[in-house]
Amino acid sequence: MDTSTYINIHNLSRACNECQLQDLCLPLGLSRGDIERLDQIVNRRKPLQRGASLFRQGDRFQALYAVRSGSIKSYATTNSGEEQINAFHLPGEILGLDAIGSGIHPESSVAMETTSICELPFDRLHTLAHEVDGLQRQLLRIMSRELNSDEQFMRLLANRSAEERLASFLLNLASRFELRGYSGQAFNLSMSRSDIGNYLGLAVETVSRLFTRFQQEGLIEVDRKAITLVDRSRMSGLCNLSATASAGEPRHG
Amino acid sequence: MDTSTYINIHNLSRACNECQLQDLCLPLGLSRGDIERLDQIVNRRKPLQRGASLFRQGDRFQALYAVRSGSIKSYATTNSGEEQINAFHLPGEILGLDAIGSGIHPESSVAMETTSICELPFDRLHTLAHEVDGLQRQLLRIMSRELNSDEQFMRLLANRSAEERLASFLLNLASRFELRGYSGQAFNLSMSRSDIGNYLGLAVETVSRLFTRFQQEGLIEVDRKAITLVDRSRMSGLCNLSATASAGEPRHG
DNA sequence: CGAGGTCTTGATATAACTCAATTTGAGTGG
DNA sequence: CCACTCAAATTGAGTTATATCAAGACCTCG
């Protein structure tokens, strides 16, 4: 990999030490010294333009990536050519964990807007994790948390109505923005309606109609990509008050 | 934990070294010596009876568990009291990974039949992973693979028909049985129809009707819990030939 | 042998999809 | 700066897959 692909403008080259995302990202819980060691293996790459891909499905796994600013979507293409979005990644989030097992990326990742990325070469990271206990732990923690949110998401897809899915999605985004110090009250969607539909397992038209309805009901205000959550508590209500539970009774079976 | 809960009948006390599940489980890729070290921290517990729980949602996370024989289902209960099954675990599979992050089990696990389990106290495992490189790697690999299969499952829930879901489910079980040396051609379901429905996001009635239909179409033979896959290739066909893709086009957005 | 749960089957309702048409907006070039 | 183009989003009408409701059959276990 040519070093000319790395640039050094100060906003981008800022070390993990000084990065405001530290508390969300891999360095979390590491000592100052250990963060410095981690920092030494991190490559800070030239920002990706909208639509540019970070890696493609089938690529050999070499590094994990952390989003520094901007946003990324990950999707897989089935053999019949359909694409399914698996995740939207915000600053501080790690990509590529699902490739560790097989050594091959099972999905593609593209920037949804101008996005800068930190690259974490995995073999070096792995070696370092061997020496730095907190790093090993943090890697496991991050993966575990991801398993968790996948499970939650599976539950959402398995038995929630379109309304509940979209409401949950918006609230989830809101809280993630807030964690990062942005407003969860008002924000811009970096993804299209069709991306949202694809991600939530809904038709575009359904998403569009729901936005309209949520607005009519005074839950949100929508202007194109700009969303304002007007009545967040009522919206939370939508996520729990699910339809008459048809679920079986997991006791034994 | 009282040592009287551990028993020593040879089938159960057989060390990792001699365990036929070695190649599916945590020891995979470890040297003989390292397996012995792992073995020393493993507790082999008294088998769980059908319906008995291994841990409950909200319990403090202390150990990972490997299924030795039998099967386990994991489910979470929402605040509105509904239960959602997240996974069925077969021999050689690890449970509890989703609790590492928070230190609390986000789901409950119960035996679907008489089941024996190996307990892997996490702090000891973590310490050992520090010394045994292959173990660290294997832990990450296992979690990564799980992320992967979760993603696949999300895709299934997000845009597949009931037919495709059930077909995929049966084929998935079949290949997992085969990995373990059992027949993938003919096997017994340890879970109820309602568990299957819950897991796949379908009503029990739909599952039942599909079993009937699959049988009528000569794809499978069903007798209560006993399933025989008659035409596996045609069944695989069902999983790809999805309905007219309504998916958006993830390019940028 | 009876009771209670599980499974199946049928009839009906409905949420969400599909298809189709229109509107809106963003980007481009004259 | 305006007209034009193309993609994205919205809106409407009609269809359909699957849920829901209801009833009966079948096991399993005590």
pLDDT at A76: 95
Q: How far is the CA of B226 from the C1' of C8 (A)?
A: 16
Give the count of alpha carbons within 13 A of A131, CB side only: 10
Fold of the CATH domain A159-238: Arc Repressor Mutant, subunit A (1.10.10)
Lowest mean pLDDT among A4-8, B27-31, B38-42, B191-195: A4-8
pLDDT mean across residues, chain A:
89
Asked if pLDDT for residue B13 goes beyond 80, the answer is no
What is the token pair recorded at A238?
Answer: 């939508």
> What's the gap in Å between the CA of B56 and the closest CA on chain A?
12
pLDDT, tens digit (0-9, with 9 covering 90-100), for B110-159: 999 999 999 999 999 999 998 888 999 999 999 999 999 999 999 999 98
CA of A50 to C1' of D17 (A): 37
Contact assignment for A195 to B145 by CB distance below 8 Å: no
Domain ranges, ordered by start, for chain B: 3-154, 159-238
Range of weakest confidence among A28-37, A121-130, A233-242, B24-33:
A233-242
Residue A157 beta carbon within 7 A of nucleic strand C? no
Stated pTM of the model: 0.89
Contact (CB<8Å) B252/A50: yes
Is residue B8 pLDDT above 60, yes or no? Answer: no
Confidence at residue B9, expressed as pLDDT on a 0 to 100 scale: 47
| Confidence at residue B2, expressed as pLDDT on a 0 to 100 scale | 47
- Rounded Cα distance, B163 and B209, in Å: 10
Within residues 171-200 of protein chain A, the ones with CB less than 7 A from nucleic strand D are 192-194
Q: Among A60-69, B28-37, B137-146, B233-242, where is mean pLDDT lowest?
A: B233-242
Question: Do the Cβ atoms of B250 and A75 come within 8 Å?
Answer: yes
* Rounded average pLDDT over A18-34: 90
| Nucleotide whose C1' lies closest to the alpha carbon of residue A162 | C16
Q: Is the CB of B212 under 7 A from strand C?
A: yes
Tens-place pLDDT, residues B143-153: 999 999 999 99
- For residue B3, the model assigns a pLDDT of 45
pLDDT class of B18 with cuts at 50, 70, 90: confident
pLDDT digits over A158-181, tens only? 989 999 999 999 999 999 999 999
Position A13 scores a pLDDT of 59
The answer to whether the A3-154 and A159-238 domains have the same CATH topology is no
Output the six-digit token pair for A180: 């990062």
Cβ within 8 Å, pair A144-B99? yes
Task: Kindly tell me if the per-residue pLDDT of A244 is higher than 70.
Answer: no
Task: From the CA of A160 to the C1' of D18: give the distance in Å.
Answer: 14
Candidate CATH numbers 2.60.120.10, 3.30.420.140, 3.40.50.1980, 1.10.357.10; the one for domain A3-154: 2.60.120.10
| Angstrom distance (rounded) from CA B239 to CA A80 | 10
